[in-house]
Amino acid sequence: MKKPTGYIVYEGVSQLDGVSPIVGIITMKSANVKTGNMAQLWILRSDIHPIDAKKASLDDAICGQCQFRQSLGGACYVNLGHAPSAVYRTYSKGGYPVAESLNIFKDMKVRFGAYGDPAALPVSILATLKRYVKNNTSYTHQWKDNKNNDTLKQVSMASVDSLAEAQEAKEAGYRWFRVTNDIDTLREDEIICPNTTKGTQCIDCNLCSGNSVKAKSIVIESHGTWSKKFNEDKVAVS
């Protein structure tokens, strides 16, 4: 019998809005050139195709108020017509079984959030996955609403979009991942993403896994199809 290409790790209500139905699916392989062959966690609305969710501005259930949301005209690099659509189609046809135990991901390297914010999932799911996987990458724009969430700090980088937000994240106890249009604006506690400087793939780097790694925070230049829409001067700081 052919092995599944992925597994459902969560079906239930979004933790971001407390209402909308979402699904978390981990696909077991990836051809992503930047990340390498890491397993990928996709967080999607379970009731509507990702493109339709964007058009109807229903993607807040999986992305919160991230300024990169395409439904808000943001600079998100994810092409919804590619992998998210394929994953949703397979899911809607019943192509992914429910993971009976998260230990099936034991010693794997997993990208938490190939699309969607990990904070949309229950923190218990993230904590259990973190316990089993060898290492992970993870980024959350929901850190401002989770400044006392120690599990999220251990699992995820705070996604920040300005130097001011980087300082705010530091004061909240997060390591961070900062997107910028000016790669020369490095703080002393930041380094440029090793994929940019050395061509290192995420699967071999392991620096973007929150406070579980003791290292400087990471900076990357805005990239992808929507990068010209990114404007760090418009980022609001609480």
For residue 235, the model assigns a pLDDT of: 44
Of the chain, the percentage scoring pLDDT greater than 70 comes to 93
Alpha-carbon distance 78 to 86, whole Å?
13
Q: Return phi, psi of residue 208, to 5°.
A: -100, 55
- The amino acid that residue 27 corresponds to is T
In this prediction, residues 130-143 reach a mean pLDDT of 97
Residue 193 and residue 218 in contact, taking contact as beta carbons nearer than 8 Å: yes
**Average confidence score pLDDT of the chain:** 92
pLDDT at position 11 over 70: yes
**pLDDT for residue 223 is more than 70:** no
**Distance, CA of 100 to CA of 111 (rounded, Å):** 20
Q: Which of 83, 81, 82, 103 is nearest to 7 (CA)?
A: 103
What number is the average pLDDT over the span 2-16? Answer: 96
Q: Looking at the predicted structure, is the pLDDT value of residue 144 above 60? A: yes
179 has pLDDT over 70: yes
pLDDT of residue 185: 85
- Please count the CA atoms within 13 angstroms of the CA of 51 that sit on its side-chain side: 9
The predicted structure's pLDDT at residue 228? 56
pLDDT for 238: 38
Token code pair at residue 25: 């699916």
What is the pLDDT, as a whole number, of residue 222?
77
Sheet holding 135-140, edge to edge: 6-13, 21-27, 39-45, 109-115, 135-140, 157-160, 176-180, 217-221, 190-192
Q: How are beta strands 190-192 and 217-221 bridged, if at all? A: parallel
pLDDT tens digit string along 72-119? Answer: 888 788 999 999 999 999 999 999 999 999 999 999 999 999 999 999
Q: Looking at residue 224, what DSSP letter applies?
A: S
SS3 25: strand
- Look at residue 233 in the predicted model and tell me its pLDDT: 46
pLDDT at 231 over 80: no
Q: How confident is the model at residue 227 (pLDDT cuts 50, 70, 90)?
A: low
Over 80: is that where the pLDDT of 142 sits? yes
Query: What CA–CA distance (Å, rounded) separates 223 from 180?
Result: 9
Domain ranges of the chain: 6-234
Residue 68 and residue 86: Cα distance in Å, rounded? 22
| Beta carbons of 158 and 176 less than 8 angstroms apart | yes
3-class DSSP state of 15: coil
